[in-house]
Structure 1
């Protein structure tokens, strides 16, 4: 994203990524020269989704970037599609996500 629309645009978007080449994602802010970077095992988090609201969802102006265990965000649909992690009764799962803030 080179430019973000103004809140008055009332836009909102959802993007999904799968078949990731590597377990990393992030976002850079050119103005502050900072980046938020996330690293993870794609076995733990096989998907990444991005939600952007430019005033179009409850008037929020926000970007959410998240490694995920399912797509789409609707859990019922993800389960039906077989694109959701499953946690069986009494089962324990551990997942690791490393988050870094850095200047570039």
Structure 2
């Protein structure tokens, strides 16, 4: 599956793309994973497992969902996999949310 946010700076998100981003962020563990990843330039799955009270297989599955959505970048590093936040993708998703709020709740309505 191609990440939704593979080239986030050159696209406007449609409803499907926004929903994929929201779904990727819909689990508390994935939000905590993003927070942990944001503390370094990249880290491996075992670094995340050490921070969260979750099994390695569970963390791997959550990372897979974040990577498939394009919110996290993946790179092979020898026998390990390195993960990093895709800040551009999160910025685009945040902008889409802001635009949605402005559209649904015109100034003065919120």
Name the TM-score, length of structure 2 as normaliser: 0.22
Would you tell me which structure has more strand in proportion to its own residues?
1
Name the TM-score, length of structure 1 as normaliser: 0.23
State which structure, 1 or 2, has the greater radius of gyration over its C-alpha atoms.
Answer: 1
